[in-house]
Amino acid sequence: MKKINTAPLSGMQELLPTDQATFNRLKHTIAKTYHAHGFLPIETPVIDRTDILLAKAGGETEKQIYKVVKTAETADDSDQALRFDHTVPLARYIVEHESDLTFPFKVSQIGRNFRGERAQKGRFREFYQCDVDIVGRGQLALAYDAETILTSLSALNAFHLNTPVLARVSNRKLLSGLIEALDLTAHSADIFSIIDHSEKVTPEKTHSDLSEIGLSSENVVKITTFMDIHGDRATVIRDLENLAIDHPTFQQGTTELGQVLGLLPADQIIADMKIVRGLDYYTGTVFEFYLPEYKEVGSIGGGGRYDNLTSHFTDQAFPSVGSSIGLSRLYYILKTHNLLEDSTQPMIDICLIPISSAEFTTALSLADQLRRQQKTVDVVLFDKKLGDKLSYAAKIAAQGIVIGANETSTGSYKIKNFATGEEQPLEI
Amino acid sequence: MKKINTAPLSGMQELLPTDQATFNRLKHTIAKTYHAHGFLPIETPVIDRTDILLAKAGGETEKQIYKVVKTAETADDSDQALRFDHTVPLARYIVEHESDLTFPFKVSQIGRNFRGERAQKGRFREFYQCDVDIVGRGQLALAYDAETILTSLSALNAFHLNTPVLARVSNRKLLSGLIEALDLTAHSADIFSIIDHSEKVTPEKTHSDLSEIGLSSENVVKITTFMDIHGDRATVIRDLENLAIDHPTFQQGTTELGQVLGLLPADQIIADMKIVRGLDYYTGTVFEFYLPEYKEVGSIGGGGRYDNLTSHFTDQAFPSVGSSIGLSRLYYILKTHNLLEDSTQPMIDICLIPISSAEFTTALSLADQLRRQQKTVDVVLFDKKLGDKLSYAAKIAAQGIVIGANETSTGSYKIKNFATGEEQPLEI
């Protein structure tokens, strides 16, 4: 009988071994793809200085950050908290280790981040994020924006899902420029936020939200016309030019968007002015990844260009672009919608079944031989009836080898496939 | 100029990319070896209920645990803290998921744990542990104790260090039985602790410590004679029998130690009565791993049999045995003593160098082709002189391919080895 509540805390992902193995396979696929694209791995500590983590954070983040209580022996250090993303610790890392790095620095980070937000289905308080970032020193060419999108798409494509993956791309200079051109900079934060939330509400609501913050109906139409622009590169660039916004930031945004789109595969990309990204540190290209056949799940990752993130830590400029896949959430979605090939294959290749403890040494040494051939091998070391041993073996392994006195003395074994019942001599 | 302290907090391990890659290679080797031995992976949350984590903890642990401050939106949950090992969350996991698991449950856990202890060189407050555990339901055969030791040794051997690895093995029933036979149970905790610390002090100090807690000089001799027993299986079993301790627990300990040693490779094992393990939850076999040529660094891992860990959570018995490699510490030791082959090879196979942005599309598409052949490939996307591009490429990659108008039109490339300067036609 249970004496205590043994469930994990709400908002935590805790998987059974077969699911964990699938999760790990996805994580490994992402890591491999990131490396294949020339990104080098780093890990920053989970616990960091609160003043670093909150240097540029807004209200939401500050409310969700997990602070850590100092222990007697850590009391000399600064105030501490758990990182809520990989980007802020990366900014610290860059400034700290600058002289040991080669720029542009292509870096990947795969690990858990922590946000103490309201627990919801498919959203986690502890969650894996898989990030790539490219950090320039002084400057960073625009083509690297395309490279982060390409890298994330490669990783998502490597899952071989039987549903398409799509990136929606925009550039924050467009909306910023438009706002400046319309002389609405006082409403800038509100307008970004209304567009960011526009897909969760009706177009009428977005319309009335924009009116409510004090926009003239003429300006409301201009903003909604802009945010409805989407499509392939040619369509979107034409529609943006047709708006005839005479502002250098807007024109710069159009040029940048056109150049980035020009380096991306048209069949997996849509330009979409509704993409603005909530976080306020983006300064140019922004993008999000979707499963268009599962619109209701929302974005499964995203990122963008951020030119000023290190500005709280140093006077030197490190313009950067990054992309993140939210793996805990993505795994949950793929699992819930049956988009993962569930391996029906047992997780162990071969289980060795010594009939008695007299065969343990033979079994352990045969196991070693098989492992040298890259097989995963378990050995039954408990003392029960042969039937019980076989039933354990058939549950956890694809094949089994029974080892008795005869096998031990002759050194020849038969291997049985538990699925088919077929038995054949083992060749080593 | 830096505006803020950007160093990681003390006690945190933060590596440069090449070191991180080496660290990840060790971690991957361990994960692969654990799986080869039939262990299935799980991950428990980093944040867990304080009442679970401290259910069986003693004073040290309670002082070192990092408590987490609840946020506005997590305030409904129990008190929370960061896990300080994998074993306690595993006990919770077993009780919670029991009906979905196959027993004996062979499970591996690789991840970060957290202890807010005094920062010391080579000891970390955030540290990777790589654990295997075997959990029985109701009972667990003794041979599994040997299997955990074998698995950890396999993982350590797979590093191919050019220094030997050794496991020192004992059984807590020996010392427990001896203490009972000598009627010293009132001093049990002290005796365990003095033996556990005996290798950090002189034999005279151990002697006087034992006297000070109130042992007669006859008993001091009996305890020190016992703790000095070490050697191969035959020697140790003979020496233990020569002590002629007439107590069933001691005799059970002798039998168990003999059986476990019988399944282990003699050349990597020494039986040693000084091994008792600090934590009080061990009930039988105990062991620690060492690099005998680097005695001063102490143990690099260890574990043992713990039969009662779930007793605070459930009435059901789940006897278990586990082994842990402290990877952050081990990496630090191997690095400090130059025991790792530092890869002088750059981390990226090939860097593509488009002469101008006109060749970006060609370069990105060639990169994809090469990645399909399992190459790691970077593409220079910045706009500088060719010399600057080549110098970047030579820093990060082993080989380079320059792509100009000619290569783009002919589709034939030359690949240059930066180490040798040799150039040859690329075969795809």
Nearest-neighbour CA in chain B from A222: distance (Å): 35
Residue-level pLDDT at B91: 95
- 3-class SS at A137? coil
Q: Please, which residues 167-226 of chain A have a Cβ atom closer than 8 Å to chain B?
A: none
Residue-level pLDDT at A174: 98
Q: How many CB atoms lie within 10 A of CB B295?
A: 9
B11 contacts in A (CB within 8 Å)?
Answer: 74
The answer to whether B90 and A43 have CB atoms below 8 angstroms apart is no
Of the candidates A77, A92, A116, the beta carbon closest to that of B73 is on A116
The DSSP result for A35-103, as a single string, is HHTTPEE----SEEEHHHHTSS--HHHHHH--EEPPPGGGTTSPPEEE-S-SHHHHHHHHHHHGGG--S
Query: Are A66 and B47 a contacting pair at CB < 8 A?
Result: yes
Beta A377-379 vs A348-354: how paired, if at all? parallel
Q: Flag whether residue B372 sits within 8 Å of chain A, measured between CB atoms.
A: no
Q: What is the dihedral of CA B232, B238, B244, B250, to 10 degrees?
A: 40
- 3-class SS at B226? helix
Of the candidates B72, B100, B125, the beta carbon closest to that of A63 is on B72
H-run or E-run covering A235: helix A233-242
Query: Are B9 and A41 a contacting pair at CB < 8 A?
Result: no
Neighbouring residues of B169: CB distance < 8 A, sequence distance ≥ 6:
B149, B257, B260, B261, B264, B269, B270, B271, B272, B275, B285, B286, B287
Q: Does ipTM come in above 0.85?
A: yes
Of the candidates B1, B150, B313, the beta carbon closest to that of A364 is on B150
Residue-level pLDDT at B57: 66
A392 contacts in B (CB within 8 Å)?
Answer: 102
Strands across the sheet with A67-68, in order?
A: A47-49, A80-82, A67-68, B67-68, B80-82, B47-49
Nearest-neighbour CA in chain B from A377: distance (Å): 5
In chain B, the residue whose alpha carbon lies closest to the alpha carbon of A49 is B9
Of the candidates A77, A141, A381, the beta carbon closest to that of B144 is on A381
H-run or E-run covering A417: strand A414-417
What tokens were used for B311?
């007793």
The answer to whether B11 and B125 have CB atoms below 8 angstroms apart is yes
The whole-angstrom separation of Cα B10 and Cα B355 is: 45
The whole-angstrom separation of Cα B221 and Cα B210 is: 10
B403-415 b/e (C-beta count within 10 Å ≥ 16 → b): beeebbeeeebeb
Q: How many CB atoms lie within 10 A of CB A295?
A: 9
Helices (H), A326-385: 327-336, 360-372
Residue-level pLDDT at A78: 87
Chain A contact probe: residue of B1, B10, B13, B14 with most A CBs at under 10 A: B14
Of the candidates B14, B95, B395, the beta carbon closest to that of A2 is on B95
Q: How many CB atoms lie within 10 A of CB A87?
A: 22
B207-226 b/e (C-beta count within 10 Å ≥ 16 → b): bebbeeeebeeebbebbbeb
Its sign, for the CA torsion B385, B389, B395, B400, is negative
Query: Are B95 and A347 a contacting pair at CB < 8 A?
Result: no
Q: Flag whether residue B268 sits within 8 Å of chain A, measured between CB atoms.
A: no
Nearest-neighbour CA in chain A from B188: distance (Å): 28
A vs B: CB pairs below 8 A: 298
Q: Please, which residues 338-367 of chain B have a Cβ atom closer than 8 Å to chain A?
A: 347-348, 351, 357, 360-361, 364, 367
- Identify which of A157, A284, A273 has the alpha carbon closest to the alpha carbon of residue A225: A273
Query: Are A371 and B154 a contacting pair at CB < 8 A?
Result: yes
Chain A contact probe: residue of B18, B70, B74 with most A CBs at under 10 A: B74
What tokens were used for A116?
């103490």
Nearest-neighbour CA in chain A from B9: distance (Å): 6
Of the candidates A64, A73, A395, the beta carbon closest to that of B118 is on A73
Per-position pLDDT tens, chain B of length 428: 778 899 999 999 999 999 999 999 999 999 999 999 999 999 999 999 999 999 876 667 888 999 999 888 888 788 999 999 999 999 999 999 999 999 999 999 999 999 999 888 888 999 999 999 999 999 999 999 999 999 999 999 999 998 999 999 999 999 999 999 999 999 999 999 999 999 999 999 999 999 999 999 999 999 999 999 999 999 999 999 999 999 999 999 999 999 999 999 999 999 999 999 876 789 999 999 999 999 888 899 999 999 988 898 999 999 999 999 999 999 999 999 999 876 667 899 999 999 999 999 999 999 999 999 999 999 999 999 999 999 999 999 999 999 999 999 999 999 999 999 999 999 88
Q: Please, which residues 282-341 of chain A have a Cβ atom closer than 8 Å to chain B?
A: 312-316
Nearest-neighbour CA in chain A from B50: distance (Å): 11
Residue-level pLDDT at A343: 65
What tokens were used for A52?
């670093």
Q: What is the largest CA-CA distance in chain B?
A: 93
Q: Report, as ranges of residue numbers, the positions in chain A whose pLDDT lies below 50.
A: none
Q: Flag whether residue A265 sits within 8 Å of chain B, measured between CB atoms.
A: no
Q: Please, which residues 41-70 of chain B have a Cβ atom closer than 8 Å to chain A?
A: 41-49, 51-52, 55, 63-70
The whole-angstrom separation of Cα A134 and Cα A319 is: 9
In chain B, the residue whose alpha carbon lies closest to the alpha carbon of A315 is B1
In chain A, the residue whose alpha carbon lies closest to the alpha carbon of B32 is A376
B345 contacts in A (CB within 8 Å)?
Answer: none
The whole-angstrom separation of Cα B372 and Cα A40 is: 19
Q: Please, which residues 108-167 of chain B have a Cβ atom closer than 8 Å to chain A?
A: 112, 114, 116-119, 125-126, 136, 139-141, 143-144, 146-147, 150, 154
B144 contacts in A (CB within 8 Å)?
Answer: 381-382
Beta B40-41 vs B105-114: how paired, if at all? parallel
Query: Are B68 and A70 a contacting pair at CB < 8 A?
Result: no
